[in-house]
Structure 1
């Protein structure tokens, strides 16, 4: 045995039990044995084991108190970071809802759309047939497009596009827009009302 290294020669195909490793009086059950490379006990090959006595010093009251304080400080830091992280998205969502409301109030026709979407193209085509120019928000061309869609879900109950608004009121998606166009309701909604 050299230092803390012990070379154990095991012959293949001879069953071995872990208690066989403790036969030598220099290795006691109070020592921890770590094998340098994995082996199967049924067919072991040459293994290198290191023997280290288990010596764990007792933890003092001061160390326990310090550990507890560090743990509490860590929990407080995590709680603070989580609160800051959760508050930021809530403010962003509120900002997106305000953007939607102000856009809808500021224009007679608003379409929240994606430039590649065939349903959005269909809805935009309806207004082209009516010679109306809608205000179009192309969500796929905005960095905050996904957040605006999340806000649309909160406001109208749908995250899909297109979402069409006429004079501040939600009309619906592509199917609702085409249906309103074919029934004449869309032209009626767009015509100015007489107060007489």
Structure 2
């Protein structure tokens, strides 16, 4: 499964959920699938998706949101692996971090990451996360649906092929505009009783 194929599935499954998206090719490809107000593209901030989604999941704990979704890459998670013990310690029940693992840094000429020899799912499990895995579209759909009913923190480790989709334009939007758009969507979704 290619990244853009996984993102197409995830876009369909997360229409009513907050989705925090890692930088570079992942953000560009998801925006090319559909650029929605519930997408928060974390441009130029590699490694922070787990931190942001942990905070949002904690803030949303008393809301009717079933989950807060993070879309992360293996290289980006390895940039800030501290999110795993932090999430395990804090235990945000609504956190679902989806790691799209292609074993390379997709935006820097496909240089290898450590994930070919370091099992990111096992790291998360050791830190107290519930871990699930998917390798194709049917597994991704089934595991996502199942995990919506599972208490977090949860890491869904998705194996994808290396390589970026061709012809995807850069995402040249001011990060402040993206943050404001997402904040407005999330505030409306949570209602006036929950502050984020």
Shorter-chain TM-score bucket reads: under 0.3
- Greater helix proportion: 1
TM-score by length of 2: 0.23
TM-score by length of 1: 0.23
Max Rg structure: 1
